[in-house]
Amino acid sequence: MRKIAILLFAFIFLQDLSAQNKFEGYNIILEVPEDQKQTACAIRYAPPSTEIKIVDLNRATPAKISPCAGSTAKLSQTGSGFVLKAGETDFKWCFQAEDKRYQIKFKDSSGKEVVYNWIATPENPGIYNVKDFGAVGDGITDDTVAIKSALAFIATRNGGTLQFPEGDFVVTSPIVLPSGVTIQGVGSLGTGSPTNNVVQKAASRIKLKGTNSSIFRIGECTERVQIRDIELYAESSDKTIGIEAVGAYNSSQDFFFERVTFNNFFRGIYVRGLPQTDKAWQFDYIKVKNCRFIYNTDAGIYSYARNAGWKIEGCVFINPKRTESQKADSMTFWHAGFVLIQDTFGGGFPNAKGGIFINIIDNSNVTVIGSQTESMTYSFVYNEPRFPYHGDYSYPITFINNIFGDPIEFRGRRTFVSIGNLYGPRTFIADPSVRVYSVGDRFCYDGNILGCQGTAQQNGFDKATVIMMTAQPDDGSVKGHSTFFGTDVKFGAPIQTPSFKQENLPKDKPNGSLVYCENCKRNTTPCESGGSGAPAMMVAGQWSCL
């Protein structure tokens, strides 16, 4: 009997140990400050001497909390519960307990309380469900702490995927995104999409309650963040932001937003440098792909920082009406460095025109390919604020194979390269400080079909200095034009002009036209036949053989 009792005790003891879950982490703080005087990364840590309170979220079970074997963390029990301190050498804390989730609380250097719902270390870490951290997703419960907790947990492991299953997840304050995280939803169909579906919101949606706030924030020293297949939605467009990036010193880079819907914000994506460094913060290598920006009242994308390596591809901007109180722009870049906009579309409505599709104040290389907009106040504006003496010729703005009928206005010096685009007959507003290189562009539809749609006269590139423009023959109602060189032309080899006999010299050509007359006499005006050939120029309305 004694042996049986010993074996039974050993079995119960081992069973009790096996029921313990392991909880481990660091005193991590996710925060994006704005008053720093030096680099302030979004991930920081409270010192290991910081006391961490462990809160049992399930009072139905006993709080069997114990230290981890081999850990240098210090666990103690007080009258109010369990207190933990991280190890002084590895800065890590660890404890064991029965439940799968506990709450931890500690104070940062300013005395502000930091609260996380912390889960046990999974057997196969890397992919996590936001509901494991206490999120409800019922469209009513505030899930802010749960989402913050999940991202803090992932940050301690230097990356992972946070899944948002079907649900409507409410947030009421900004949530900081750490490096290496992937936010993964199950669908980004926009709220109110005309699909004839009884359900009118996305399968997975993060909904911002309140005003003057953002859903996600990105700070300095942050890299390799992805957000996919989810709708970000604001109940109010009063200074609300979907994703806000803020910094002054250390750059952040490599962000991928794919199949994300930004709905009803003041600004969908907002990047801003801080005044400490004259807004010269670098936010680089951004890929925005197959996203949709719906009714964002100021701009879908707004960047007031130094940025390079942006690619906006396959996106759609549905703009509200531009009014005195809302600009209703699609994209605004104050300093656009190597920005590529491709296969992207946007617009307002015929009786409710949006603002500016592409609004650039200053830039290095910018390329727009295969894109279109309609029912906008402008398709494109350079230097909207009209800064004097603005711009330079160093970096071209290049348009390739686009359709833009709404006005394009340059308000400063720029090199503009235009290839194979369809514009309206009076699209451009530009002065001679703009230099244009044009190949294969049109300013009206085919003249045998729609033509210039009631506009009798084209203005081409307006008053811009056209360096080169290829010809467009007449077609139907649309008058063509010759190939044009706006500067001196120098040839490095002989050139050959067209050759005619005297009786076939073309009529009604403008003065200065030059051909070769095969059978003309030299020094005759008008050209006479019977000679061995001479160059002929149209002078005062008649051919003169030289």
Q: What are the tens digits of pLDDT across the range 409-459?
A: 999 999 999 999 999 999 999 999 999 999 999 998 888 888 887 666 788
CA–CA distance, 262 with 191 (Å, rounded to integer): 10
Residue 55 pLDDT more than 90?
yes
From the centroid of its chain, how far is CA 159? 22
Q: What are the tens digits of pLDDT across the range 319-333?
A: 999 999 999 999 999
Residue 534 pLDDT more than 90?
yes
CA–CA distance, 453 with 444 (Å, rounded to integer): 8
DSSP-derived secondary structure letter, 178: P
Amino acid (one-letter) located at 37: K
Nearest Cα neighbor of 184 from 230, 136, 138 is: 230
Per DSSP, the three-state class of 92 is strand
* Cβ atoms of 443 and 463 closer than 8 Å: no
Residue 16 has a pLDDT of 47
Q: Which residues lie closer than 8 Å to 18 by C-beta, 6 or more apart?
A: none
Q: Bridge-partner residues for 240, per DSSP?
A: none
Backbone angles phi, psi at 506, to 5 degrees: -65, 145
Kindly state the tokens that stand for 334. Answer: 């104050």
Percent of the chain with pLDDT over 70: 96
Confidence of residue 199 (pLDDT cuts 50, 70, 90): confident
Pairing of strands 43-45, 28-30: antiparallel
Q: Which residues lie closer than 8 Å to 303 by C-beta, 6 or more apart?
A: 269, 270, 271, 272, 283, 310, 332, 333, 334, 335, 336
Mean pLDDT in residue range 27-42: 97
pTM for this model (two decimals): 0.92
Q: What are the tens digits of pLDDT across the range 69-89?
A: 999 999 999 878 899 999 999
Residue 100 pLDDT more than 80?
yes
Residue 260 has a pLDDT of 99
Q: What are the tens digits of pLDDT across the range 108-160?
A: 989 999 999 999 999 999 999 999 999 999 999 999 999 999 999 999 999 99
